[in-house]
């Protein structure tokens, strides 16, 4: 229904507009521009009726829609942005008219942003407030004196164009500040469709730039991107019943269904694609604004120096590529239709120079360049490697190529990962941006490896399999093999790249979840990588991948563990056998604690901070490696859950946990368990060792009820309920060790999780030899090396039964 379907009197009366609005929003279920236009028309008719009802004459006063309502972009829960404009001749009549307009809007519960001003007041407010001026640029007449509205629009636009050199830099700063505060719409799992960079406010800012006549945004795809974001916001308003712009995780499936999309990932991908178009248009437009303003300020001085002549300096960068006005453009002699390598050469030159690629150059390349032959010529491969090795500037250049479809033409498999969301809080980026970010991180590590070209290409391709079903490492190996051959690597190099992609998670997962003292662990990694050169590359790729994932994926401690594993594997690849676990001798401090525990009959412990990374941890960050906790306790049931529970009460996070029987000197009776753990303080402060020992004594003798204490703490400080976490999963890895059975637990991280696992394993009657704890964001991935009471691996059936029982316990 539109305003043409309903007489004014039908909707001006009580409830008339509300009923018509409800019919419009419910009868037409699919959001779209037609419904926004119909809702704006209906609202226009209603407000015009309110304006004219009981008004004898309308000269000298008008009702004006501004902002989003002025543009006709009226979402179901949008504010009504209204300006009552008057000439100041009859303030009393204007006040009465304002009451007749505003109160019916409030009575319906509609959000209203209103003002009452003369044209001079409106211009003065706009001069002082940039946001007001932006709203007036979209002013649209609704009722009353058309001449008054037209005159205001004319003067506001003239003011905007006259003041553009001063106001546009302020608008640019406003957009940058908002982006810093709200983040990038195209990467957020719960984005703000309006405020985040690449959102609706940025699209409105581009309209304002165009209205200044100083510069214009790339028009292709921009209107469609804006429409898609508005459609998503409409669906969000209808599904939530609230005036919200944040696309929360729990609402994405409903919004996707309302838009006729298959699932929430399809919705996010559509949002990301729209945001990418708007963000790229913003980059190009603001660059043009800066260039125009700079040229205007320099023009008088340049004219005097050149005697009235002006020239644009062009500096050669590569064959067919030059720099002009701070951008990389094509040389006048360039012939893209005859030079298929030119897009990569131009991109590499731009990234190496730290300059943006000109929009017109990229569009010309996209329109005229022929496809590269397969395999690529050597120059094309070298230019790709040069681009990837350029560091941070490569990101903007790559996005310029992507905006015009050149990346998907060069690498067709890229299309499946483009704008693909990653539903993991550890990841900061979409899949495609993560791949480029990994290449950026890898570029800083190229001096550590003998084949930096293989490292950079593997970094670009390591997650390419995420666009396909199944294990992305397995799928990615197949794709990487095909891509590497197509871009011209020989058979040996293709094998290396494929191996790196297949095993890009091997080092970090093994180092953090497996016992490095177990010979089977080191041998399995050596068998996978096969050569020292591949191991060297995999080490660098592991670090680059983790750094590009996010701060939760890499730390000095993980760097130390991975480097330790690499050194052990290097020794095996050089011909040395892995050290057997029983060959590890106790330290003097461990012996002292064991003897003291046997003598006293109670637990003793030592707590020591590791403030510097070991020298072996090349590239490790400066933060502490954690705290070393040594505990010696007489052998008795319940040691693991007791220690884990006490640490949870003191807010200490466990990174690794080793347990073994202590070798006591001759003449010392009794069995002693020695625990060598790495822990970290959750809030930065360590508890006193004496308090830890006292609580451990009480936990072991049963006077400290750990379960009740943890429950009391959680009740006092309940955690906010968020998205429902997936259920825990417990599995058995029968090939991980010859000396123990490895049980792996994947669960939502929570205080006391290790205590609950330890108690469940204790109840199952198995002995925990060591535990390797890894936390990524909200996910805990813990591996436990367990044996029977006799110290041998569990039979497979028994191990599966223990795992099943543990999983049931954690689910409960």
Three-class SS of 318-378: ECCEEEECCEEEECCCCCHHHCCCHHHHHHHHHHHHCCCECHHHHHHHHHHCCCCCCCCCH
Confidence of residue 475 (pLDDT cuts 50, 70, 90): very high
Q: What residues contact residue 339 under an 8 Å CB cut-off, 6+ apart?
A: 320, 345, 369
pLDDT reading at 12 higher than 80 = no
Q: Which helix (H) or strand (E) holds 457?
A: helix 452-461
pLDDT reading at 560 higher than 70 = yes
pLDDT reading at 478 higher than 80 = yes
Tokens of 560: 């130390």
- Domain 166-300: assigned CATH number: 1.20.120.330
Tokens of 95: 């006040």
For residues 559 and 774, give the distance between their C-alpha atoms in angstroms, rounded to a whole number.
13
pLDDT for res 530: 94
The most confident of 105-109, 257-261, 500-504, 653-657, by mean pLDDT: 500-504
Least confident of 543-547, 634-638, 653-657: 653-657
Confidence of residue 4 (pLDDT cuts 50, 70, 90): very low
Query: How many residues in the chain?
Result: 812
Question: Where do the structural domains in the chain lie, given as residue ranges?
Answer: 3-162, 166-300, 317-410, 438-575, 585-718, 727-812
Confidence of residue 672 (pLDDT cuts 50, 70, 90): confident
For residues 438 and 484, give the distance between their C-alpha atoms in angstroms, rounded to a whole number.
17
Query: Rounded to whole angstroms, what are the CA distances from 525 to 531, 547, 720?
Result: 11, 22, 41
The most confident of 239-243, 478-482, 684-688, by mean pLDDT: 478-482
Q: Specify the fold of 3-162.
A: Beta Polymerase; domain 2 (3.30.460)
Pair 677, 629: CB distance under 8 Å:
yes
Pair 114, 82: CB distance under 8 Å:
yes
pLDDT reading at 342 higher than 60 = yes
**Among residues 26, 57, 293, which one has the least CA distance to residue 167?**
293
pLDDT for res 382: 93
Q: What is the tens place of the pLDDT at every residue in 43-63?
A: 999 998 888 886 666 788 999
Q: What is the tens place of the pLDDT at every residue in 788-811?
A: 888 889 999 999 999 999 999 888
pLDDT for res 624: 52
- Kindly state the average pLDDT of the residues 422-434: 86
Pair 512, 772: CB distance under 8 Å:
yes
Pair 430, 422: CB distance under 8 Å:
yes
CB atoms within 10 A of CB 346: 34
pLDDT reading at 615 higher than 50 = no
- Domain 727-812: assigned CATH number: 3.30.70.260
pLDDT for res 616: 38
CATH 3.30.980 corresponds to the domain 438-575: no
Least confident of 145-149, 155-159, 303-307: 303-307
Please tell me if the domain spanning 585-718 has the same topology as the one spanning 727-812: yes
Question: Over the chain, what is the mean pLDDT?
Answer: 86
Least confident of 90-104, 460-474, 544-558, 649-663: 649-663
Q: Specify the fold of 585-718.
A: Alpha-Beta Plaits (3.30.70)
pLDDT reading at 620 higher than 80 = no
Q: What is the tens place of the pLDDT at every residue in 393-402?
A: 999 999 999 9
Confidence of residue 2 (pLDDT cuts 50, 70, 90): very low
pLDDT for res 296: 76
pTM of the model: 0.80
In the chain, pLDDT over 70 holds for what percent of residues?
Answer: 90
Instruction: Using only the alpha carbons of the chain, give its radius of gyration.
Output: 33
pLDDT for res 522: 92
pLDDT reading at 314 higher than 70 = yes
- Phi, psi angles (nearest 5°) of residue 108: -85, 0
Pair 522, 568: CB distance under 8 Å:
yes
pLDDT reading at 580 higher than 80 = no
The most confident of 450-454, 575-579, 777-781, by mean pLDDT: 450-454
């Amino acid at each position: 229904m539109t305003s043409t379907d309903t007489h004014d009197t039908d909707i001006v009366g009580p409830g008339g507009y509300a009923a018509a609005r409800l019919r419009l929003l419910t009868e037409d279920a699919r959001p779209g521009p037609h419904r926004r236009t119909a809702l704006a028309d209906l609202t226009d008719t209603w407000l015009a009726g309110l304006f004219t009802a009981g008004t004898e004459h309308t000269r000298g006063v008008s009702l004006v829609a501004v902002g989003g309502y002025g543009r006709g972009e009226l979402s179901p829960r949008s504010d009504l942005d209204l300006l009552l404009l008057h000439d100041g001749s009859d303030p009393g009549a204007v006040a009465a008219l304002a009451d007749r307009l505003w109160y019916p809007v409030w009575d319906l519960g509609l959000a209203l942003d209103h003002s009452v001003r003369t044209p001079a007041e409106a211009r003065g407010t706009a001069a002082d407030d940039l946001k007001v001026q932006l709203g007036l640029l979209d002013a649209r007449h609704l009722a009353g004196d058309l001449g008054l509205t037209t005159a205001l629009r004319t003067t506001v636009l003239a003011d905007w164009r006259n003041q553009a050199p001063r106001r546009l830099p302020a608008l640019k700063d406003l957009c940058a500040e908002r982006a810093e505060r709200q983040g990038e719409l195209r990467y957020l799992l719960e984005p703000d469709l309006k405020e985040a960079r690449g959102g609706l406010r940025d699209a409105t800012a581009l309209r304002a730039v165009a209205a200044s006549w100083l510069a214009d945004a790339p028009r292709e795809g921009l209107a469609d991107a804006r429409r898609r974001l508005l459609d998503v916001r409409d669906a969000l308003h209808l599904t939530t019943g609230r005036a919200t712009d944040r696309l929360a995780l729990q609402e994405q499936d409903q919004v996707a269904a309302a838009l006729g999309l298959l699932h929430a990932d399809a919705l996010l991908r559509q949002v990301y694609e729209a945001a990418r178009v708007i963000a790229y248009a913003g980059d190009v437009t603001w660059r043009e604004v800066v260039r125009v303003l700079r040229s205007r300020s320099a023009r008088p001085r340049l004219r005097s120096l050149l005697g009235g002549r002006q020239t644009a300096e062009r500096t050669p960068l590569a064959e067919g590529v030059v720099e002009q006005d701070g951008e990389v453009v094509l040389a006048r002699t360039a012939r893209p239709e005859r030079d298929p390598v030119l897009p990569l050469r131009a991109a590499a030159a731009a990234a190496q120079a730290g300059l943006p690629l000109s929009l017109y150059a990229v569009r010309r390349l996209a329109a005229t360049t022929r496809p590269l032959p397969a395999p690529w010529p050597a120059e094309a491969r070298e230019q790709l490697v040069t681009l990837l090795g350029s560091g941070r500037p490569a990101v903007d250049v790559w996005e310029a190529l992507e905006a015009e479809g050149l990346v998907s033409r060069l690498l067709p498999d890229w299309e499946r990962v483009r704008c693909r969301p990653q539903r993991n809080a550890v990841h900061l980026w979409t899949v495609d941006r993560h791949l480029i970010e990994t290449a950026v991180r890898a570029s800083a590590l190229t001096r550590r490896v003998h084949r930096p070209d293989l490292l950079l290409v593997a970094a670009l391709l390591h997650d390419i399999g995420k666009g396909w079903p199944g294990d992305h490492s397995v799928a990615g190996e197949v794709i990487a093999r095909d891509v590497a051959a197509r871009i011209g690597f020989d058979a040996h190099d293709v094998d290396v790249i494929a191996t790196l992609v297949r095993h890009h998670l091997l080092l970090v997962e093994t180092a953090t979840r497996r016992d490095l003292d177990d010979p089977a662990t080191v041998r399995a990694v050596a068998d996978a990588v096969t050569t020292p050169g591949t191991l060297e590359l995999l080490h660098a790729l592991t670090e680059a991948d983790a750094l590009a994932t996010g701060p939760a994926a890499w730390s000095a401690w993980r760097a130390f563990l991975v480097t330790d594993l690499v050194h052990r594997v290097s020794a095996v690849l050089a011909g040395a056998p892995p050290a057997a676990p029983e060959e590890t001798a106790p330290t003097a401090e461990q012996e002292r604690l064991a003897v003291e525990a046997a003598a006293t009959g109670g637990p003793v412990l030592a707590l020591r901070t590791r403030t510097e990374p070991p020298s072996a941890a090349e590239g490790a960050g400066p933060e502490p490696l954690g705290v070393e906790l040594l505990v010696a306790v007489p052998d008795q049931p319940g040691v693991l859950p007791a220690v884990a529970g006490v640490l949870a009460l003191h807010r200490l996070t466990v990174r690794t946990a080793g347990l073994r029987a202590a070798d006591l000197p001759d003449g010392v009776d009794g069995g002693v368990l020695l625990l060598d753990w790495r822990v970290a303080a959750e809030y930065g402060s360590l508890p006193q060792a004496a308090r830890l020992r006292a609580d451990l004594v009480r936990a072991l003798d049963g006077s400290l009820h750990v379960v009740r204490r943890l429950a009391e703490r959680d009740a006092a400080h309940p955690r906010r309920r968020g998205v429902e976490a997936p259920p825990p999963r417990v599995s058995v890895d029968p090939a991980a060790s010859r000396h123990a059975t490895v049980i792996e637990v994947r669960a939502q991280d929570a205080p006391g999780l290790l205590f609950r696992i330890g108690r469940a394993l204790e109840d199952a009657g198995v002995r925990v030899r060591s535990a390797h704890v890894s936390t990524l964001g909200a996910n805990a991935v813990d591996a436990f090396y367990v044996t029977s009471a006799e110290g041998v691996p569990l039979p497979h059936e028994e191990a599966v039964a223990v795992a099943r029982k543990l999983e049931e316990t954690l689910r409960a």
